[in-house]
Structure 1
Amino acid sequence: MSEVLSASSDVAFTPAVKAIQTRKGSRDGYAQVERHGGWRSAVDDQLAHFLAAQTSFFLATASADGQPYMQHRGGPAGFIHVLDPHTLAFADYSGNRQYITQGNLSENPKAHIFVMDYVHRRRIKIWGEARVVEDDAALLQTLMPQGYKARPEQVIVFTIKAWDSNCPQHIPQKFDAADVAAALAARDARIAELEAALAAAQPISTAQPASGESGAVAP
């Protein structure tokens, strides 16, 4: 059974964490956030828009004895679905068949989603609980990205407890190769267009010297 949190950020700010915050001088600032309820706990338009644009994220779980594990999940933009303001879901594709994530969730539902957007230098952290759904073909078909080359095996449903975003500090800006290629192609097309326009504006002169003029310069 899930514990009741006095503030949503208590999912991360345990008594041990708060004690260290007090010792290092940051507790008062976070306590002010907690007085307003803590972090956000539902999907708003900002988060929905952010998730819809992502093609990659990391899913962290832990075994019953606390051994952590993080696994990458990827797909085309839109592969992370918002089922309702508190629930995310995605098709889980067949992979190396280790099933560490599924095994962890079978004994410890606590999970964490970490999404990094390198282009805009932004990261989103989502705390919650996750479960694996193996027997809902209709849901799996709904979540499977159309035309994506992968074999869907099951569904992972994630219930949100809290989420927060970080500042861009220390995040390197990186761009997808496809986006860079598209930008370069657009640049090259524009250069070719300008070169053609310049050539058309400078016709070659065909004028001949007047009769009797040799073109030589008199001494």
Structure 2
Amino acid sequence: MIETQVHSNPIDASRANSSDVAFTPAVKAIQTRKGSREAYAHVEENGGWRTEIDDRLAGFLAQTDSFYLATATADSQPYIQHRGGPKGFIKILDKHTSAFADYSGNRQYVTQGNLSENPKAYIFVMDYAHRRRVKLWGEARVVEDDPALTQSLMPRGYKARPEQAIVFTIAAWDTNCPQHIPQKFDAADVAAAIAARDARITELEAELAKLKKQAASAV
């Protein structure tokens, strides 16, 4: 884990629990009406959602090559943008902060525009192979004037042009159960597995041919 200056946690002091970042009074009212509030209140009493990047989350993000970043305009119009790169392209800066290089793309700048007037952001990471998902609430900011930071976030050897950096400060994070997540595998992982299988088949066929030759010569 890369250590740098620790940023303050962006959780609103008015929130009683870390999950209040998502469980607003309106949400809690529906939970009460539908019978799930008691269970979530129990979770809150036992510490609630995690608010720091621990080794478990750091390890998960280190294997992530794709996620979705959600932002919203000042008047709450949401927008979701996909972000991707080699595994490890999300860097951990400290126990509350992650960051990644923002590559040059179609130059719409919707995410950057949203963050300029509303720093609230959300990251959704899906691991289809292991049927896992992680949700992160927090705030994000675009850093345009720190080329050293941007360059430090670039994956080595990756063919993309970094334009700036996006720094995400975590307020709370949580995981979901695997229910309804279809199991899917990355094409590169499948190709590697097939190549390993084919190499083993070739090896076994060579051994079999050698044994047949030895058996024939012994007759």
Q: Shift in Å at residue 49 of structure 1? A: 0.3
Could you give the per-residue CA deviations for residues 74-132 of structure 1, whole angstroms, max 9, x where no partner exists? 00011000100100100000111110000000000000000000110100000000001
Per the alignment, residue 21 of structure 2 pairs with: 11
Q: 2:68 aligns with which of 54, 58, 83?
A: 58
Question: Displacement, 1:207?
Answer: 8.6
Aligned length: 208
Which structure has the higher relative contact order (CA within 8 Å, separation 6+)? 2
TM, length-normalised to structure 1: 0.92
Report the CA distance between 1:13 and its aligned residue: 0.3
SS in 1 for 2:47: coil
Counterpart residue number, 1:101: 111
Instruction: Within 5 Å, give how 1:62-73 maps onto structure 2.
Output: 62-73=72-83
Q: Secondary structure at the match of 1:202?
A: helix
Matched, 1:193 2:206: no
Return the match for 2:163 from 113, 135, 153: 153
What is the distance in 1 between the residues matched to 2:16 and 2:149?
Answer: 34
Gaps of 5+ in 1: 209-219
CA shift for structure 1 position 54: 0.6
What is the root-mean-square deviation in Å for CA atoms of aligned residues? 1.5
Matching of residues 1-219 of structure 1 within 5 Å: 3-4=12-13, 5-203=15-213, 205=216
Q: Which secondary structure state, in structure 2, belongs to the residue aligned with residue 162 of structure 1?
A: strand
Q: Distance in 1 between matches of 2:43 and 2:50?
A: 11
- How far the C-alpha of 1:205 sits from its partner, in A, is 3.6
Distance in 1 between the 2:83 and 2:168 partners?
Answer: 13
Q: In structure 2, list runs of 5 or more residues that go unmatched.
A: 1-9
Provide the residue aligned with 2:6 in structure 1: none
Q: SS in structure 1 opposite 2:26? A: helix
Q: Which residue of the partner structure matches residue 217 of structure 1?
A: none
Q: d(CA) in 2 for partners of 1:167 and 1:201?
A: 51
1:216 equivalent in structure 2: none
Identity of aligned residues (%): 75
Q: Secondary structure at the match of 2:76?
A: coil
Tell me if structure 1 keeps the 8 A contact 2:11–2:21: no
Larger gyration radius, structure 1 or structure 2 = 1
1:165-208 per-position Cα deviation (integer Å, ceiling 9, x unaligned):
00111111111111111111111111111111112112364699
Per-residue deviation, residues 127-166 of structure 1 (Å, max 9, x unmatched): 0000010000110111011111111011100000000000
Matched-pair contact (CA < 8 Å) for 2:11–2:18: no
The worse-fitting range, judged by mean Cα deviation, of 17-26 and 2-11 is: 2-11
